[in-house]
Structure 1
């Protein structure tokens, strides 16, 4: 069995996937996997792969208007991915870089049946890995049943060698796109739900958390 490994620079973990559902996040990770360690500016995924990742209904896929509807789905998804913005700051805060990783999408539902994505050449370092990287199996990521579980999973994978993830609660709220209206009790209920904790416990042999100190101990 071939295990598809998603790998990117840790800086990408500062890009919250706000407003993306679980299936859309799978496609984002698949795109990152496609450009990993490749000196290219355009990558593509075929529609069959995208349908599988997005959970596109098999019955609908056989309908007469399937391609037109799937094209609209990809168009809407592309609009969302193009809104992703990252921020890099120097330690003193005097140097700030704002960036978009994927500025161009080409959807061809007529000839090649593919989605082509252009990566911003300025930030190809995010997917051409030498050090300071996050890595995980795409299948394991796809097994997460909640969006918070997906985001926590990739954040924890960044600390696969140290075994500890320490983060301020306010920073964790930002990284996970937790609504400001959520109290700590609501955050425990929604972010660290039973489903999310079960998924993460299955992914890591040891998973202990102290949410008051925002300390998570993990062991792979």
Structure 2
């Protein structure tokens, strides 16, 4: 088995548009650890020992009961994901994983991928996101983890722009945060503070709507990934 520092997460960019609602930081780590290990496995069932999954996701607690509980909550959240795919003539919705078995006695998890969504992980085109799993698990907050993935998608340009409504959806901002000041204080400022450790010259500009004083778009920019941060992929495209 590869060490955690050798594991790279790759997936189609569409997955970045799926809000990971109700996921806490550790569940995000577990989710992308699973995605990383499912790469190039086709539709086969993949078996993870508890020890391997703990190591990949940097899971610190050792109690098996707590770990099993987190795995159960993770899959319940995965079932709640609304993955949407649209073509000229069709709109489809899927769940990502179709099988999820937890063997408490033998301490392993067995997972299978929905055949309709295999391409998200295995059918990579030029438009994909890529980052080291160990870098992702080192980030603490859910907002910072999500923003990290979005910025890494635009690693080649160092520029990411998004409407405020789409940003709130992707970041899973609580609907109670109706004022920009709340979003700034609770979401953007803490995430940016943490991600300054990963990106050089990371900045944000708030673009107002043409009419009124409301913020319409956010523009994120950075010059480079910090070279002093270990285990971060320095190239986003291959």
The 8 Å contact of residues 210 and 216 in structure 1, kept in 2 or not, is answered as yes
Q: Secondary structure at the match of 1:160?
A: coil
Runs of at least 5 residues in structure 1 that lack an aligned partner in the other structure: 62-66
Which one is further off, 172-181 or 22-31? 172-181
Runs of at least 5 residues in structure 2 that lack an aligned partner in the other structure: 208-216, 226-238
2:86 to 82, 89, 94: 89
Equivalent in the alignment of 1:215: 219
Q: Give the Cα–Cα distance (whole angstroms) in 2 for the partners of residues 149 and 72 of structure 1.
A: 24
Equivalent in the alignment of 2:141: 146
2:46 to 43, 48, 71: 43
Equivalent in the alignment of 1:32: 35
Equivalent in the alignment of 1:169: 164
Q: Give the Cα–Cα distance (whole angstroms) in 1 for the partners of residues 69 and 140 of structure 2.
A: 25
The 8 Å contact of residues 21 and 77 in structure 2, kept in 1 or not, is answered as no
Equivalent in the alignment of 2:231: none
Q: Give the Cα–Cα distance (whole angstroms) in 2 for the partners of residues 15 and 177 of structure 1.
A: 10
The 8 Å contact of residues 41 and 120 in structure 1, kept in 2 or not, is answered as no
Indicate whether 1:75 and 2:78 are aligned: no
Indicate whether 1:99 and 2:94 are aligned: yes
Give structure 1 regions of 4+ aligned residues with deviation exceeding 6 angstroms: none
Indicate whether 1:115 and 2:109 are aligned: yes
Q: 1:204 to 1:69 in 2, by over 3 A?
A: closer
Task: Tell me how far 1:69 sits from its aligned partner.
Answer: 4.7
Task: Tell me how far 1:206 sits from its aligned partner.
Answer: 2.5
Between the two proteins, the alignment pairs up a number of residues equal to 209
Q: 1:27 to 1:69 in 2, by over 3 A?
A: closer
Task: Tell me how far 1:162 sits from its aligned partner.
Answer: 2.0
